[in-house]
Every structure is written in C-alpha cells, then in structure tokens.
C-alpha cells in the first residue's frame, strides 16, 4: 500500500473567503488524499509550522485579498529556512496573469485561477509530489 | 534512520514529524525506530478526549493546551478525524481550533485519519504516542473522532479519559446506555451556558449514583469557547490520575495496555503472512461460496503457516 498523499490547504492573509479552499479540500478528499484545513487568516509562519509538524507532501495556498505576491513567496522562503523545501507549494485565488511568472520564479510550482477544474489540481498534485 | 531517532530524542520537530510519518504509514524503518525509542517511553501523561461530534472536543483541547502551557508542560496532541469510506481520503479539521498554538515550540499537533479503523482512533495511534512520549512530551492529548456509542478504544490507552457531553442530544435513556458513557473517568458538560445543561447535569449525577465503584467520575461544567471551567477540569483530570496511581490500578492498566498492543500486532502480523499465502485467495473464495466455514478456513491457513490449533475434541463429541 503506498503512502497517502497529505496536503495542507491554508489561507494566508486577511480575507475571509474560504469557499474556494473548502471546495478544493473536498475535491482532494474525494480523490483519496488526506487534507489538513487550518481555517482563515493564517500567517505564513503558522502555515509552515503546521506543514512541518504534519509532514505534508504539499501545501495549497488560497488568497483572494491581493496580498499573494508577498504571502506566497514568504511561505516558500520559510520552508527553505526550515529545510523543508521538498514540500510542493501551489496557489489559487484571484491572481492577475502578470503576477504568475513572478510567483513561479519565487518557487510556487503552479497557480490555479478561477475556472480551473479540481481535476487539474488533483492531477497536478499526483504528478508532482515527492513521495509516491 | 539513526539520525532520525537521535533528532527525535533531542526534540527536533522535523525528525519527530518524519518519524511519525514512517510509523503511521507502516513504512520501512518503523520497527527499528520503535525498537530504539521504546525503552525511553512511559513518562508522558496520556489524556483522552472523546464525545459526540460537535460537542466541542477540539475547542476544549485548545483550552486545555493553553492551561498546560501556563504550567510549563510540553504538550503533544493527536487529533483523529474520520476517513471517507468511499474515497479513503479525509479532511482533518481539528487543528482549526488550535492554531493559536501553531508557533509555540512546546506544542506539537498531529492530525491522523482513521483509515477505516474502528473504535474511534487511527490504526497506529499507539505507536505515534510512543514517539511523542520518547520525545519527552509531558502530556499527550488524544482527541478521538466524534463518537457515537461504541467507540471506546481510547479507554485502553489513556490514563484519564474525558467524555465531553453537551445538552440537547438525548434523554436520560441515552445516558444510561452502555459504551461511551461507561468509559468516562471525568465528564465535561460543555456548552454549559445553554438550555438543558442543568438537566443533563442532574441526569448524569443520577446515573453515577447507581454506580457501585468506590471511585466515581467527577463532572465538570465548561464553556470551552469562553475558557470557563477549564482550570477545574484540568485539576480534576490530574486528581483522577493521582487516584489511579495511588490505588495500584496503574499496574493493571499497564498490563492491559501491553496486552492490547500485542493483540493488535498479532493480528496484523499473522494477517500479513496469511495474505501472502498462495492458498489465501482460494480460502476466501470457498468461504464466500459457503463451502467452508471461516474457522475451517483459518485452520487451513494456520496449518500452512505452521501454527498448530488445539482441537475442541470434547465439544464435538455428542
């Protein structure tokens, strides 16, 4: 039996809109993954500490407040700092197209925009997490 | 693997987290890790929190953590949530209520999915407890899934089991049923500011009056969201632990725990070997087709594994 994929779905920043994060969480659950959901308004520090304790394979960040350029790279940096940069980080939310190259350069593996299907996200995680 | 164990024993978060993953998933190295740390276990206080879904177990756990931290104790939490019986996936959401402790080095929270294990806990919960114990945590809180009536595994593991009750879930007949109601060392009547709390309290007391045991569970009123009654509850928990320690029951509990761990592994290890036999699938087919009883099937598999079964000669003669 192969190890189950474990994903942390987290909402950094101050917006309280977590419908998207919950939809993704449920879709990943239905795809057989174990999903930790930590609720709204988490700091990057809290997210990374949680990811390390839970030893997750991947972190999905959801942000609708416009602060993604600051918060998403901060999560990646903190993971590096803690020696946990093998964790696959992806993001979603209201993110302008022109921000995407910068986020990818900062180490966010993929960005899912409104309209992306949950299947895409599931496939992406399955194909890119380090464990199998 | 040695680095991992050394890191774990030194209290390194990442080593502990990785070791838990290995143990939880039965990955290679599990046995070696457990072997190296097992002699160092047995010091932590194991506290079980159980009760129906929505009773406030996670919020109560959050407040108990805060209390223990003020006393300078290090805390680990194992938060168990159910796996989907259909996809095998899970949403582990107990942590939401405990995120105020995310940056506290003295608190380590780990979520576990039941993975269709019955009894209210995840399959390898006990082994994860050993890791936390060896890592020097003072108190390990095990929060079960939301339980109904019969998920009582926690009582075989925890030193003290708190059953969290809330007003409005049923009448006095529910309270007098067997199962979860019987395993409480301490009751917490949570959401005690709500209608029906007094009634629940008096019904609980009435039930406990009928118990003949010399040591009866204490009942505490709590409003976890407002941090009401937590100090009293925690004091009650440790008072219970002390009573068990002094009464000498602790030795009996230790033996019981050891037997339970052995039983779980005897089952797992024999099952694994049985499934590895060529005859295994044939036996399953014959039992499914009602050509053979499960007991005869087991005997056949045991014979192949070289395990002798005592025959019940006397019972069969008529």
DSSP for B20-49, written as a single string:
HHHHHTT-TTHHHHHHHHGGG-S-SEEEEE
Say which residues have a Cβ less than 8 Å from residue B62's Cβ, sequence separation at least 6.
Answer: B97, B98, B100, B101, B224
Q: What are phi and psi of B193, to 5 degrees?
A: -90, 0
Examine residue B317 and state whether it is found in any structural domain, yes or no: no
* Shared-domain flag, residues B273 and B284: yes
pLDDT at B308: 82
The answer to whether B88 and B135 are in contact (CB under 8 A) is no
Indicate if the pLDDT at residue A130 is higher than 80.
Answer: yes
Indicate if the pLDDT at residue B177 is higher than 80.
Answer: no
* Shared-domain flag, residues B268 and B224: no
Say which residues have a Cβ less than 8 Å from residue B266's Cβ, sequence separation at least 6.
Answer: none
B271 vs A: CB within 8 A = no
Q: Which CATH number fits domain A6-126: 2.90.10.10, 3.40.50.300, 3.40.50.280, 2.40.50.100?
A: 3.40.50.280
Beta-carbon separation of A46 and B102 below 8 A: yes
Examine residue B318 and state whether it is found in any structural domain, yes or no: no
Nearest to A38 among B27, B83, B99 (CB): B99
* Shared-domain flag, residues B129 and B263: no
A125 vs B: CB within 8 A = no
> Between these two residues, B235 and B214, which has the higher pLDDT value?
B235
Q: Could you tell me the residue range of the domain that residue B170 belongs to?
A: 41-247
Strands B90-92 and A34-37: parallel
Q: How many helices (H) and strands (E) does chain B have?
A: 12, 8
* B216, B247, B278 - which closes a domain: B247
Q: What is the mean pLDDT of residues B168-180?
A: 67
Examine residue B315 and state whether it is found in any structural domain, yes or no: no
Instruction: Supply the ipTM of this predicted assembly.
Output: 0.92
In angstroms, how far apart are the furthest CA atoms of chain A? 42
Beta-carbon separation of A29 and B93 below 8 A: no
Instruction: Categorize the per-residue pLDDT at B271 as very low, low, confident or very high, splitting at 50, 70 and 90.
Output: very high
Per domain, the residue ranges of chain A are 6-126
* Shared-domain flag, residues B207 and B261: no
Beta-carbon separation of A53 and B92 below 8 A: no
Q: In 3D, which of B147, B162, B131 has the Cα closest to residue B233?
A: B162
Instruction: Categorize the per-residue pLDDT at B249 as very low, low, confident or very high, splitting at 50, 70 and 90.
Output: confident
The answer to whether B92 and B79 are in contact (CB under 8 A) is yes
Beta-carbon separation of B95 and A50 below 8 A: yes
Beta-carbon separation of A54 and B27 below 8 A: no
Other CB atoms within a 10 A radius of the CB of residue A109 amount to 18
Q: Dump pLDDT digits (tens) for B43-92.
A: 999 999 999 888 999 999 999 999 999 999 999 999 999 999 889 999 99
Nearest to B87 among A3, A30, A52 (CB): A30
Point out which residues pair with B141 in neighbouring strands: B47, B77
B21 vs A: CB within 8 A = yes
The answer to whether B152 and B59 are in contact (CB under 8 A) is no
Residue A37: its chain B contacts at CB < 8 A?
91-93, 95-96
The answer to whether B166 and B60 are in contact (CB under 8 A) is no
* B200, B226, B247 - which closes a domain: B247
Beta-carbon separation of A36 and B95 below 8 A: yes
* Shared-domain flag, residues B162 and B181: yes
CATH of the domain at B144: 3.40.50.300
Examine residue B159 and state whether it is found in any structural domain, yes or no: yes
The answer to whether B144 and B151 are in contact (CB under 8 A) is yes
Examine residue B56 and state whether it is found in any structural domain, yes or no: yes
Say which residues have a Cβ less than 8 Å from residue B271's Cβ, sequence separation at least 6.
Answer: none
Instruction: Categorize the per-residue pLDDT at B215 as very low, low, confident or very high, splitting at 50, 70 and 90.
Output: confident
* Shared-domain flag, residues B83 and B49: yes
* Shared-domain flag, residues B212 and B277: no
Beta-carbon separation of A46 and B13 below 8 A: no
pLDDT at B172: 58
Instruction: Categorize the per-residue pLDDT at A1 as very low, low, confident or very high, splitting at 50, 70 and 90.
Output: very low
* Shared-domain flag, residues B155 and B116: yes
Examine residue B316 and state whether it is found in any structural domain, yes or no: no
Q: Specify the DSSP class assigned to residue B98.
A: G
Q: What is the mean pLDDT of residues B141-162?
A: 86
Strands B45-50 and B139-143: parallel
* Shared-domain flag, residues B228 and B134: yes
A4 vs B: CB within 8 A = yes
Instruction: Categorize the per-residue pLDDT at B318 as very low, low, confident or very high, splitting at 50, 70 and 90.
Output: very low
Examine residue B252 and state whether it is found in any structural domain, yes or no: no
Tokens 């995407």 belong to A100
* Shared-domain flag, residues B151 and B13: no
Give percent of chain A above pLDDT 70: 97
* Shared-domain flag, residues B35 and B45: no
Q: Residues B145, B151, B156, B161: is their CA dihedral positive or negative?
A: positive
Residue A86: its chain B contacts at CB < 8 A?
none
Q: What are phi and psi of B46, to 5 degrees?
A: -100, 120
Instruction: Let me know if B289 is exposed, middle or buried by CB neighbors in 10 A (0-12, 13-18, 19+).
Output: exposed
* Shared-domain flag, residues B16 and B46: no
Q: What is the mean pLDDT of residues B143-156?
A: 82
Indicate if the pLDDT at residue B146 is higher than 90.
Answer: no
Examine residue B32 and state whether it is found in any structural domain, yes or no: yes
Instruction: Categorize the per-residue pLDDT at A131 as very low, low, confident or very high, splitting at 50, 70 and 90.
Output: low
Say which residues have a Cβ less than 8 Å from residue B204's Cβ, sequence separation at least 6.
Answer: B165, B175, B187, B189, B219
Total domains, chain B? 3
Please, which contacts does A105-113 make with residues 24 or more away whose CB atoms are closer than 8 Å? A106/A72, A106/A73, A106/A76, A107/A73, A107/A76, A107/A77, A107/A80, A108/A61, A108/A72, A108/A73, A108/A76
């Amino acid at each position: 039996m192969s190890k189950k994929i474990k994903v942390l779905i987290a909402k950094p920043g101050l917006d309280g809109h977590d419908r998207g994060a919950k939809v993704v969480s449920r879709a990943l659950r239905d795809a057989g993954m174990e999903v930790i959901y930590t609720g709204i308004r988490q700091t990057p520090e809290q997210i990374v500490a949680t990811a390390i304790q839970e030893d997750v394979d991947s972190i999905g960040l959801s942000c609708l407040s416009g602060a993604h350029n600051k918060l998403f790279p901060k999560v990646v940096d903190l993971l590096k700092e803690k020696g946990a940069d093998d964790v696959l980080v992806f993001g979603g939310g209201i993110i302008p197209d022109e921000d995407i190259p910068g986020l990818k350069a900062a180490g966010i593996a993929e960005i899912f925009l409104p309209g992306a299907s949950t299947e895409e996200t599931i496939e992406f995680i399955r194909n890119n997490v380090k464990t199998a | 693997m040695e680095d991992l164990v050394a890191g774990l024993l030194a209290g390194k978060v990442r080593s502990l987290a990785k070791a838990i993953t290995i143990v939880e998933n039965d990955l290679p190295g599990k046995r070696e890790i457990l072997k190296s740390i097992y002699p160092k276990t047995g010091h932590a206080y194991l506290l079980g929190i159980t009760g129906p879904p929505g009773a406030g177990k996670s919020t109560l756990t959050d407040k108990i953590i805060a209390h223990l931290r003020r006393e300078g104790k290090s805390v680990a939490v194992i938060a168990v949530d159910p796996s989907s019986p259909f996809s095998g996936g899970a949403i582990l959401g107990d942590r939401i209520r405990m995120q105020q402790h995310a940056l506290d080095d003295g608190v380590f929270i780990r979520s576990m999915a039941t993975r269709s294990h019955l009894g209210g806990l995840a399959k390898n919960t006990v082994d994860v407890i050993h890791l936390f114990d060896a890592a020097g945590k003072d108190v390990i809180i095990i929060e079960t899934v939301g339980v109904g009536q019969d998920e009582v595994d926690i009582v075989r593991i925890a030193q003290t089991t708190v059953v969290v009750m809330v007003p409005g879930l049923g009448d006095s007949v529910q309270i007098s049923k067997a199962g979860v109601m019987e395993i409480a060392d301490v009751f917490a009547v949570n959401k005690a500011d709500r209608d029906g709390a007094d009634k629940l309290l008096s019904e609980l007391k009435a039930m406990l009056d009928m118990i003949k045991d010399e040591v009866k569970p204490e009942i505490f009123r709590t409003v976890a969201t407002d941090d009401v009654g937590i100090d009293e509850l925690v004091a009650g928990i440790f008072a219970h632990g002390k009573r068990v320690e002094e009464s000498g029951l602790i030795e009996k509990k230790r033996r019981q725990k050891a037997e339970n761990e052995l039983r779980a592994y005897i089952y797992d290890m024999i099952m694994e070997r049985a499934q590895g036999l060529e005859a295994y699938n044939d036996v399953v087919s014959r039992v499914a087709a009602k050509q053979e009883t499960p007991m005869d099937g087991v005997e056949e598999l045991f014979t192949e594994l070289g395990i002798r079964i005592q025959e019940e000669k006397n019972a069969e003669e008529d």
